[in-house]
Amino acid sequence: MSTEAEPNSRTAKNGELLRAAAALLFPSLCLSCGVHPVEEIRTGGVCDTCWKALPEPEPGCLRCGDPLPALDAEVCGRCTIDPPAFRRLRAAAPYRGVAREVLIAFKFRGAAFLAPHLARRMRPRHGEERFDEVVPVPATGLSRLRRDHPAELLAHSVATLIGAPLRARRLTKVRATSRQSGLSAQQRAPNVRGAFAARGPVPPRILLVDDVATSGATARECARALIAAGARDVDVWCFARATREDAIAPLSWRGTAGEKA
């Protein structure tokens, strides 16, 4: 495992230990339904009923996972006209129901101990691809100042799960961008174009990890930077796939939320 990830993982581990101790003394309620008591260590703070109710991934574009307007189409219009640099973007669940509640707890309520539980559900049920390294989408804006960057926590857990090294600083942000959540679908791609660079040389097979994808514009730009720096294949795993109408954050968090898309 790369030493790059250590400060964050150490913070996460300390947090986990404290929470584990607290959970033994004060059993808590499920982060999703708020009804069932849970044991954080085993279930990540989410009850078994809620985990079972996690919505299934929906059929979509074979490349980017976007919902398809035509039933017989396999690839969306955008991927046909402008194919992404990544091979395929996969998400564990659509961004609704339990998936939304769990992700909000993870991103905005400090439930970092959820990371390994989310990572397990991100791994595709079929397919045993091998990756040379796992790279998180870089933190932007305010989340860069926070130590618990959600994509990096997830990438750390995914790397552990699949036994590949984590390269948390492989991608860097090279210019300022506006918050993606404040932009229309048409504005998102230009906002992040050329915003990322990869420190090379990059090995051939890269797994790019993000917590949630909306337009896929950030994943497209990150993949482009990785390929430009030497990667051959880039796959993207996200926990949730949002549609362009979904608000990524709970209302009270609008000010700092949804910096990626």
Residues binding Zn ion (CB under 5 A):
30, 32-33, 36, 47, 50, 61, 63-64, 66, 76, 79
Pick 9 or 32: Cβ nearer Zn ion = 32
Pick 103 or 197: Cβ nearer Zn ion = 103
CB of 98 to Zn ion, least distance (A): 8
Q: For residue 166, what is the DSSP state?
A: B
Percent of the chain as helix, strand, coil, to the nearest 5: 40, 15, 45
Pick 83 or 200: Cβ nearer Zn ion = 83
Pick 114 or 197: Cβ nearer Zn ion = 114
Pairing mode of beta strands 233-241, 205-213: parallel
CB of 192 to Zn ion, least distance (A): 17
Provide the angle, in degrees to the nearest 10, between the axes of the packed helices 6-25 and 150-162: 90
Pick 38 or 166: Cβ nearer Zn ion = 38
CB of 67 to Zn ion, least distance (A): 10
Cβ-in-10-Å burial (0-12, 13-18, 19+) of 25 comes to exposed
CA 92, 96, 98, 99 dihedral sign is positive
CB of 91 to Zn ion, least distance (A): 13
Cα 210 vs. chain centroid, distance in angstroms? 2
CB of 76 to Zn ion, least distance (A): 3
